[in-house]
């Protein structure tokens, strides 16, 4: 079986993608690197191949999408994807994770206590 040379490309405007999520969200990030024939996609973070990590919350799907289950603050950072045999065309996804802080002050309680006669 003869396999042709894969032509890999990425639109210049898609080289950097900003992604936002909240703590506890489940997100899917698509890799926009394309090729003919369609190349297998490799996801990396801190130089490590995410498909090789034994982290249950990170999953790389066969279609090249990265899925992060139950996003935590430690997931914030840059994720890169590229075609398996072409590391020259790389897309970076900057994941920003937002935490929800709850205030234990109750505005209604303050309003009612301040409106009572002394």
> Which CATH architecture fits 24-100?
Sandwich (2.60)
Domain extents in the chain: 24-100
Distance CA 91, CA 41 (A): 11
Kindly state the average pLDDT of the residues 39-50: 92
Q: Assess contact for 99 and 71: CB atoms under 8 A.
A: no
Distance CA 42, CA 90 (A): 10
- Please provide the average confidence, as pLDDT, over all residues in the chain: 82
pLDDT digits over 58-112, tens only? 999 989 999 999 999 999 999 999 999 888 899 999 999 998 764 344 444 444 4
3 — pLDDT class (breaks 50, 70, 90)? low
Q: Output the pLDDT for position 13.
A: 82
Q: Output the pLDDT for position 102.
A: 46
37 or 24: which leads in pLDDT? 24
Peptide bond into 37 cis (omega under 30): yes
pTM of the model: 0.76
Q: Output the pLDDT for position 44.
A: 96
Q: Output the pLDDT for position 73.
A: 94
Distance CA 20, CA 111 (A): 35
């Amino acid at each position: 079986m003869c396999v042709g040379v894969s032509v890999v490309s990425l639109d210049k405007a898609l080289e950097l993608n900003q992604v936002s999520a909240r703590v506890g969200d489940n997100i899917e990030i698509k890799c926009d690197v394309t090729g003919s024939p369609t190349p297998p996609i490799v996801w990396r973070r801190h130089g490590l191949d995410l498909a090789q990590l034994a982290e249950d919350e990170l999953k790389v799907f066969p279609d090249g999408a990265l899925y992060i289950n139950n996003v935590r603050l430690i997931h914030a950072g840059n994720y890169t994807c590229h075609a398996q045999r072409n590391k020259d065309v790389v897309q970076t996804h900057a994941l920003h994770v937002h935490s929800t802080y709850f205030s234990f002050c109750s505005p209604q309680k303050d309003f009612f206590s301040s409106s009572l006669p002394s």
